[in-house]
Amino acid sequence: MSFVPASCDVASAAARVGGRSDHPRLVLATTILASSLAFIDGSVVNVGLPAIGKSLSAHAGELPWVINAYLLPLSALLLFGGAAGDRYGRRLLLVVGTVVFALASAGCALAPNMAVLLTGRVIQGVGAAILMPNSLAILGDAFSGEARGRAIGTWASVAAMAGAIGPVLGGWLIDTVGWRAIFLINLPVAAGAVVLALRYVRETATDKPAPLDTEGAALATLGLGFLTWGLTIGSGPPGWTTTAVLMMAGGFVLLAAFVLVEHRRGDRAMMPLALFTSRNFVGLTLLTLLEYGALGALLVLVPYELIEAAHYSATEAGAALLPFPLVMSVASPAMGAFAGKVGSRVPLVGGSLIVGLGFLLATRIGPGGSYWTTVLPAILVMSVGMAGVAAPLTTAVLSSVDSRHTGSASGFNSAVARTGGLIATALLGAVLAATGASLTSGFRVALFACAIASAAAALSGFVLIRPAAAATRGGTAPASR
């Protein structure tokens, strides 16, 4: 997921209107450093799973939680973190989130067992949910007009570079120093972000902030937690036990309660239900959940298969995915321009189908296969397809709802993207528990399921997203309710 900077996070920042800063370049550097913590950490840990599992003697049911313990609070609290910044001050929340993330990273690096590591990962996710939306809101406040667009573009480019460098750097650290170093590299980055924020970022807070949706945030976190826990137990050994079924049922009940609370709060909710009166928004939400869920599974599965079955080093496994963000960074502007001419529906549907084809090509990955003939072709095809999805998605989400809900829509879509990765990772227990030929067999079955998910994403886009009657200047299709 970290290879694709959350486009709707960028949109959320762009949708905010703010003033100028006395030190705009240093504010930009601050937001880049803070956001890079989340982007680098997500991509690095995927490569480190085999080493972490061996070092801490983790059983198969625990490995998915190394990823999901971080994604769970990030998915559930992202909108809450942004609202807290509006209420208490964005600089304050940025500093608090960054410090929390740094302290949790130190705890992960020193973890003597899986319980401590997973606790640290949960706290990292909370820190990321606080710092990410406020980092981007600060960026939106510091610039105006065309300068804001350039600043956000710079932020997105650096985020893509961080996602590209992260796995290679992390793999090298794992091979030379050990997996604990991948958490320690967060500390100097966090220190730089805090110093710059305190010195150069102006504090901002809304004069009349809306009350925080604490009840909704708690129910969303608990609901996703129980659902993820049940899926993790059910997908791995011992399988679908009574405990797994009860966890799943409890998760659905809590999420249903969350929807009721949001309905009662109306436009003051962290997830206004008015968003779902837009047919386009519903289609975009389903497409995001399915496509980013498949991508999340890919970024866990491919490094794991390459290291465990194909005997790549961690550095080699990280480098194997490097073409993905590089191709996306080159292809995304062209795809965005194309969406501006024909509307978002065509590239979203076509891109999803191309990603599905890439997943089918990736089923050829396994022991003994050449990187150039098995891994690289699949990665190239998927990266082209994801460029067709990621670039037009921002425009499509923003134009699918009225102006009152653009911030909520973009933030919610970003949370849905991370929730897709959360659910997908929870379903990988059986694959991560396997060894030898069983691992490769399970890997290929999982990738085939990802190809089906991509096809379903394309179908949801084709059926629910209405074609634009005309493209407007700047690539924004007219809103369709």
**pTM reported for the whole predicted model:** 0.87
How many helices and strands (H and E) does the chain possess? 18, 0
Q: What CA–CA distance (Å, rounded) separates 183 from 152?
A: 27
What pLDDT, on a 0 to 100 scale, did the predictor assign at position 115? 95
What pLDDT, on a 0 to 100 scale, did the predictor assign at position 7? 53
Helical segments of 4-113, H only = 7-15, 24-55, 63-88, 90-109
Q: Which two tokens stand for residue 330?
A: 């080159």
111 DSSP 8-state letter: -
Closest C-alpha among 177, 453, 175 to residue 312: 175
Q: What CA–CA distance (Å, rounded) separates 476 from 17?
A: 18
What pLDDT, on a 0 to 100 scale, did the predictor assign at position 5? 53
Q: What CA–CA distance (Å, rounded) separates 460 from 132?
A: 29
CB 122 within 8 A of CB 69: yes
Q: Which two tokens stand for residue 477?
A: 């299709």
pLDDT tens series, the chain, 481 aa:
555 555 556 555 555 444 556 788 899 999 999 988 887 877 789 899 999 999 999 887 788 999 999 999 998 888 888 888 888 888 999 999 999 999 999 999 999 999 999 999 999 999 999 998 888 888 877 877 777 767 777 777 777 777 778 889 899 999 999 999 999 999 999 999 999 999 999 886 555 566 788 898 999 999 999 999 899 888 877 778 899 899 999 999 999 999 999 999 887 888 888 889 889 999 999 999 999 999 999 999 999 999 999 999 999 999 999 999 888 878 877 887 888 788 889 999 999 999 999 999 999 999 988 999 999 999 999 999 998 898 788 778 878 877 677 777 878 888 898 999 999 999 998 898 888 899 999 999 999 999 999 999 999 999 999 886 434 433 333 333 3
Closest C-alpha among 243, 212, 213 to residue 229: 243
The DSSP element (H or E) to which 265 belongs, if any, is helix 242-265
CB 233 within 8 A of CB 289: no
What pLDDT, on a 0 to 100 scale, did the predictor assign at position 139? 82
Question: Which residues fall within 8 angstroms of residue 350, CB to CB, at 6 or more apart?
Answer: 385, 388, 458
Find the length of the chain. Answer: 481
